[in-house]
Amino acid sequence: MNNEPIVSIQNVSMRFNLAQEQFSGLKDLVIMATKGKLKFHEFYALRDVSFDIKRGESWALIGKNGCGKSTLLKVISGIYKPTNGNVIVRGTIAPLIELGAGFDMELTARENIFLNGAVLGHSRKVMEQHFDEIVDFSELKGFIDVPIKNFSSGMIARLGFSIATIVRADIIIIDEILAVGDYEFQKKCYKRMEDMMSGGTTVIFVSHDEVQVRKMCDYAVWLSEGMMQAIGSANDVCRMYKKSLE
């Protein structure tokens, strides 16, 4: 049904078991685990998070570092399976969550375009059709046959963004990747995001840039210690979050 949310986050909690003891390496870890001496304490990165995202909307996740924003993006992307609750996604996702994710650092940029395209579910034919456009947008023509282990983080971000957005997905998920790189390239990225949104793409992104959140997003969720503090229009939620920091 067209009125169904494209993303439905239902009572999601994410628990990690953190080792209490210190150990010097994998060998010590295995020995302690075998002897039953390894103890853990539970850490909840997310607690009972629920909200729906409709097709074509743009959402920001805001909050201090460590509040659960990136964890929630990974749960939505399917990288993490939630400890409790469910996430229902009705569409294709292009995730831009970690710089270099899906890349082989030993391969060249040319080779990684096809590798990353395959990771995103695109055929070689599709990537060949869009190859020149990816290279042009990333502004890496002079480095296309250089192994990306020699790239700066900004160059990797350019390549990752150019690949992920060349074929329009239903949902694009971005975790502060646009904070990397020069100002002019950031403007190009935001322009492409605006074009995608105008074409109906749903955007979910993490940002500490309040100006961009207000400009780009219809709605926002404020997280603190894994729990939702506020949800609503981007302007209202940003105002509440900013007030909490004063």
- CATH number, domain containing residue 157: 1.10.8.100
Range of the domain at 128: 93-168
Q: Are 160 and 177 in contact (CB under 8 A)?
A: yes
51 domain-assigned: no
Q: How far apart are CA 163 and CA 153, in angstroms?
A: 15
Overall pTM surpassing 0.75 (yes/no):
yes
Alpha carbon 245 to its chain's center = 25
Q: What is the CA radius of gyration of the chain?
A: 20
Residues 6+ apart with CB under 8 A from 48: 11, 12, 13, 84, 85, 227
Beta strands 202-206 and 171-175 are parallel
225 domain-assigned: no
Q: Which amino acid is at 200?
A: G
Q: Which of 22-26, 35-39, 135-139 has the highest mean pLDDT?
A: 135-139
The confidence band for 43, taking pLDDT boundaries of 50, 70 and 90, is: confident
Number of domains in the chain: 1
Buried b (16+ CB within 10 A) or exposed e, 175-204: bbbbebbeeebbebbeebbeebbeeebbbb
Buried b (16+ CB within 10 A) or exposed e, 93-127: bbbbbebbbbbeeebbbbbbbbbbbeebebeeeeb
Q: Are 160 and 103 in contact (CB under 8 A)?
A: yes
Report the share of the chain in percent with pLDDT over 90: 57
What are the DSSP calls for 119-169, one per residue? HTT--HHHHHHHHHHHHHHHT-GGGTTSBGGGS-HHHHHHHHHHHHTTS--
Q: Which amino acid is at 46?
A: L
145 domain-assigned: yes
Torsion of CA 68, 70, 72, 74, to 10 degrees: -140
160 domain-assigned: yes
HSE of 164, CA atoms in CB hemisphere, 13 A: 31
121 domain-assigned: yes
226 domain-assigned: no
The overall average pLDDT reported for the chain is: 87
Q: How far apart are CA 63 and CA 57, in angstroms?
A: 20
What are the DSSP calls for 28-96, one per residue? HHHHHHHTT---EEEEEEEEEEEEEE-TT-EEEEE-STTSSHHHHHHHHHTSS--SEEEEEE-S-EEEE
The confidence band for 17, taking pLDDT boundaries of 50, 70 and 90, is: confident
pLDDT in tens, 76-132: 999 899 999 999 999 998 888 776 667 999 999 999 999 988 888 889 999 999 999
111 domain-assigned: yes
Q: How far apart are CA 119 and CA 107, in angstroms?
A: 15
Adjacent-strand bridge partners of 206: 61, 175
pLDDT in tens, 177-221: 666 667 888 888 888 888 888 889 999 989 888 888 998 899 999
181 domain-assigned: no
